[in-house]
Amino acid sequence: MSKVFEVGKLSVTVVEAPESSSPPKPLLISTPTEAGEYPVVVFFHGFCLTNSCYSAILQHVASHGYIAVAPQLYSFTDDLISNLFSANEEIESAFAVLNWLSQGLQSSLPNNVQANLPKLAIAGHSRGGRAAFYIALHNGQTSVKFSLLMGIDPVAGGSKENQLKPPILTYKPSSFDIGGIPVLVVGSGLGEQQKNFLFPACAPKDVNHKEFYNECQAPRFHMVATEYGHMDMLDDKIPTLVAKLASCACKNGKEKEPMRKFVGGIMVAFLEAYLKDERGDLEAIIADPSIAPVELNPVEYDEK
């Protein structure tokens, strides 16, 4: 197994930055404690979920030498219903956090840790992955520029005919023009399947990872964990009732730990390849997908 799938050598601390004028939304920041300058990854949570649902993945990434910033884009008491059919508010919140980074992030970090914002990545899960893609397609609206994009089982809506507003998918191959930024799309093999007749699939056909990858331009990478579901990368302990209900609505694999290791590890491999020009782990996984802690099929990419 590649070392990226194991916890890194750096110790990590988690900083909670409450909502105020700075930052514009509550943040969980997973950061190395060792003195140094580290690239930054901004991670957007999925619908009905909290940023703390991804603590294990974010701390995994941080332990390999990255500052992982996870905003809570909306609250469950005030904003959940208004965000049900439209993603406008969460996208505005995501833009606000990105625009805050250059002025506010450094003051939220340990004194000996420096944020390397010229090496910035954005990522997200489910609707958060969709938000990351939307931002990539409108990068001119941010005061910071990012170097790569990662969608973790991104979902654009309930169906091809019922995309979230504003719509993002065009159903035209290679139609996403994001300026040549490398893109990683992770998929779940069970995401298209209904858990039971009461709940629709959590990552429905035509609005999931397959179509996102199809519309990406090179360099693009697509890896699907065949035996795992849409919520299997979350922590075992889910902090809110709403998030627990959302997690229970999705078809799941046998256990979450292998999926968490895979998602954290492939994120690290992709970051290493394109932010540090250290491609060994990513190339090893592509050459032999069996080294991953989950079964991967397909593993496809296009770098030209």
Catalytic residues: 126, 153, 230
Q: Which token pair is 196?
A: 């039971």
* 3-state DSSP assignment of residue 51: helix
264 contacts 193 by C-beta, under 8 angstroms = no
Closest CA to 230 of 129, 82, 94, 121: 129
Distance, in Å, from the CA atom of 77 to the CA atom of 81, rounded to the nearest integer, reads 9
16 contacts 27 by C-beta, under 8 angstroms = yes
CB count in 10 Å sphere of residue 143 = 11
- Peptide bond preceding 26 in cis form (omega within 30 of 0): no
DSSP state letters, 131-166: HHHHHHHTGGG-SS--SEEEEES---EEETTEEPBS
DSSP state of 5: G
User: What stretches of 19-155 show up as alpha helix (H) in DSSP?
Assistant: 55-63, 88-104, 127-137
Closest CA to 113 of 43, 40, 44: 40
Four-point Cα dihedral 93, 98, 103, 105, nearest 10:
100
Distance of CA 111 to the CA centre of its chain: 27
